[in-house]
Structures are given as structure tokens and as C-alpha cells.
Amino acid sequence: MIAPPRRFFALATLVLAASAPAWGQGVTARTVALGQSAPLSGPARAHGAQIRNGALAYLRRLNDAGGIHGRRIELATLDDAGDPERALANTRRLLEELRVFALFGYPAASLSRELLALVQHSRAPLFGPITGARIARQPGRYVFTVRAGHADEVERVVEHYAQLGLKRFALVRRDDPEGAEFLEAMRAALRRHDLPAPSVAVLRRGQVPEAVHEVLVAESDAVVVALPAEPAAGLLRELRRATRAAQLVVLSLAEPAQLARDLGPAGAGIVLSQVVPPIERTSLPIVAEYRTAMQAETGREDFSPASFEAYIAAKVFAEAVRRAGPALTRDALLLALEAMSVYDTGGYTVGFSRTNRQGSSRIELLAIGRDGKLLH
């Protein structure tokens, strides 16, 4: 038998290389696999479900329309019950066993420095963490956020009220790292505006009267509350009974509609800051689109800022996949995101660059009206 010439093998190798798939881990001809760790059980399960449902609502809409470049984007969510160690183990499983293309929509409770180190080591994109925490905004190539951070939110509040002539600020926070981050951000914002350092009250379980007393003693012009809706409502009711002299402002840790319901008539005049547009503002195309998609996904009017943020993040991610082209790899996705200087989702605009991984610094200020409705 005469052996084929070497040129034959060279040509055969080229043909095989040309016909081999050009896409990366977690990508097939028909699917793109995303992975998420979130609390689907435990105290934070409602928040975790909101985030997952918001992402699924957009992905259902996208996939029903044919996906992107012929591929469906699919999301696998593993329950971590709000435990960072479980979230880390889940992330290892997603990357090493399920071999997902990218990680998506992790809430604050699921993030840790060890998890972010794993992301960097694995060179796996982590897109759209649903948090304003500084930990999600550390230097690195692989983490992209679509919302303002805690520091942006505090700066917007301080700037707004400083322009109105208010000078003395108080902060009510939790005794945890996130509360400490809000305090650091407020001190920095007040320094930038040449205002005195804030008075601080730390709310611990069952100690609402003590926190109220600390705020009243300070005689502040504005009291900024960095608490979730349930503890915030109890504190705000007591503050309203004690004084109406100070402007009360609640940061986005508290869900606005829930807080307005919990406060009832006592909520009138309280201001709330939000990092996404109000979900009642249906004149914005992205809001109307989100509400329709959520009803299709859940079968009810189950709207919240957390699910809306996840919906927006999923839409931005899908646009990056579209721009990356049919030969989808992680590097192609990263380059597409870095080149996405402006993308309007329908009234909420994001932008990234080689040096900017935070898509937006937008902050909305709302107020609770006399009838309990949100004014924006």
C-alpha cells in the first residue's frame, strides 16, 4: 500500500479544524448555559426567587422569539440559602461539573472574596450581580454590574439635600459589613460637600427605641435609613411619632411598595432612593416590557425592583451575546461588553469600557404620597 502524501494530512487537518465548533465552554449550536447561585430557601428566599424570576422572564421572551444566533440562553440556579460557603461550592459545581459559559445575577449574600477569586482564576464572566456592594466592584476583568453602587446612591442623596440647604445628616444602619460600607460612603460624600460628619445609629435586633433616641439627640436635618423594608418600617413609625422636623430618606435596601404598605399614612413625605426606574412608570418601554414578561413568567403581577434589575441585566447580557457574534467564546463576550459604550434597554441606558465595569450610576428619588402611592 502506498502511503498518502504528507500534503494530504495537512489538508485533512485544515478541513477538520475549519469544521470544528468555534465556540467556548457552555456553548453549543443551540444553547448558551448560564449559572447562578441564589437563596431559594431560608430567610432570603423571596429575594432569591425575585432575582431568578426576573431573569427567567426575559430569557423566556428572548427564547420564544428564537434566541440569539439560533441559540437559546438557559439559566441553571442552585440554592445556597444565603450562605456564602454554599454559594462558593455551588459556583465550583457550575464551572467544573455543569461547565456553564458564564455566571449571572448573584445577590449580595452569595458573594464572597473567595468566590470572586474563583471567578478570576477560572476566567469566567460574572455578569449582573444584584447588589450595590463594593465587593462586586473590585478591580478585575470578569465582573460586570448594570446598576449604581452604594456609594453612588449615598452621594446622590447627600448632593440633593445639600443643594436644598440641609447640613446635618444622620445614618441608621445595621451592624454588619454592608452597614459599615454605607457609613464610609456617607462620610466621604459629606466631606466632598464640606459638611460635618454624620451622626450614626446602629440598629440591632429589638433596639428600635435606642436607635430613635440616638437620631433625636443628634437633631439632624435629614435621616438616611440603610435598612431592609421590615426593620425600616418599625424605625420610621417611631421617628414619625417623635418628630417631623427631619427629612426621612430610605435607601434601596428597602423595597418601596412593601415599605409604603407597611407604613400606611405614616409614610407620607418619606423619600426613597432606587437604582432602577420605578416599576409603576409604564411610559418607559423597558418597564412596560418587564411587566408584561413577568406576568407571562409567573402568571401574576409579581413586580419588584430586584426582579426588574435582574430582567435588565439579562437583557444587557443577551445584547452582549448578540454583539459577540455566532462564534461565541468568553473572550468574545468580554470584548463585546468592553465595546458597549452605550446601550439603551428602553429607557434605562448602560455603558461599559475597558476601564469601566459598572454599567450605570443612575439613581431615582421617589416619595410616598398621602394616599400611600409612590410619587416619581
In DSSP terms, 71 is beta-bridged to 68
pLDDT of residue 15: 38
Query: pTM value?
Result: 0.91
Mean pLDDT of 133-141: 91
CA 95 to chain centre: 21
Mean pLDDT, the chain, as a whole number?
91
Q: Where are the beta strands (DSSP E) in the chain?
A: 31-38, 72-79, 102-104, 126-127, 143-144, 169-174, 199-203, 222-226, 247-250, 271-274, 343-344, 349-350, 364-368, 374-375
Structural domains in the chain, sorted by start: 31-147+283-350 (3.40.50.2300), 150-274 (3.40.50.2300)
Between 287 and 241, whose confidence is greater?
287
pLDDT of residue 9: 35
pLDDT of residue 217: 65
Mean pLDDT of 280-289: 96
Helix H or strand E encompassing 297: helix 285-298
What does the alpha-carbon distance between residue 69 and residue 337 come to, in Å, rounded to a whole number?
A: 17
CA 98 to chain centre: 24
What does the alpha-carbon distance between residue 40 and residue 202 come to, in Å, rounded to a whole number?
A: 29
What does the alpha-carbon distance between residue 99 and residue 190 come to, in Å, rounded to a whole number?
A: 46
**Residue whose cell numbers read 439560533:** 70
Of 114-118, 225-229, 333-337, least confident by mean pLDDT is 225-229
pLDDT of residue 22: 54
328 pLDDT more than 60: yes
298 pLDDT more than 90: yes
pLDDT of residue 230: 87
> How does residue 244 score in pLDDT terms, banded at 50, 70 and 90?
confident
What does the alpha-carbon distance between residue 11 and residue 5 come to, in Å, rounded to a whole number?
A: 10
Q: Which three cell numbers stand for residue 167?
A: 447640613
20 pLDDT more than 90: no
pLDDT of residue 206: 66
What does the alpha-carbon distance between residue 28 and residue 73 come to, in Å, rounded to a whole number?
A: 10
In DSSP terms, 247 is beta-bridged to 222
Mean pLDDT of 331-344: 98
Give pLDDT tens digits for 143-192: 999 999 999 999 999 999 999 999 999 999 998 999 999 999 999 999 99
Percent pLDDT > 70 in the chain is: 93
Give pLDDT tens digits for 55-89: 999 999 999 999 999 999 999 999 999 999 999 99
Residue 73's alpha-carbon distances to 61, 143, 318, in angstroms, are 11, 19, 8
Count of alpha carbons within 13 angstroms of residue 15, beta-carbon side: 6
DSSP for 7-73, please give it: HHHHHHHHHHHHHS----TTB-SSEEEEEEEE-SSSTTHHHHHHHHHHHHHHHHHHHHTT-BTTBEE
pLDDT of residue 10: 40
Between 342 and 265, whose confidence is greater?
342
